[in-house]
Amino acid sequence: MDTISAILMLAAALVLIVILVKVLAAPIRLLFKLAINAALGFVILFVVNFFGEFIGVSLGINLINALIAGFLGVPGVILLVLISLLF
């Protein structure tokens, strides 16, 4: 009986691990996508600041611009450039 209960406990542990991975997969995937989007937004923000001197566009690197670039990524930086050009 000991081997059957050990096999059942191992099977239950494996099922629990599979369920845990399935439940946490979506939030981890979303967090990874947000991190990639934020990193790309910051890189684009720095590139726009570097090359913006040559075309007359300057974006200050402050908390608001960093948050917009971090959350929205490339579209956020495009939005910041458009707002900078309009105002």
pLDDT digits (tens, 9 = 90+) for 66-82: 888 888 888 888 999 89
Instruction: Give the whole-number percent of the chain exceeding pLDDT 70.
Output: 99
Q: Chain-wide mean pLDDT for the chain?
A: 87
Range 59-66, long-range pairs (CB < 8 A, 24+ positions): 59/84, 66/42
pLDDT of residue 1: 59
Residue 13 — φ and ψ, nearest 5°? Answer: -65, -40
- Alpha-carbon distance of 72 to 64, in angstroms, equals 12
- Residue with the bigger pLDDT between 19 and 52: it is 19
pTM listed for this prediction: 0.65
Residue 61: Cβ within 10 Å count: 11
84 Cβ partners below 8 Å, 6+ apart?
57, 58, 59
pLDDT of residue 14: 95
- Alpha-carbon distance of 75 to 41, in angstroms, equals 8
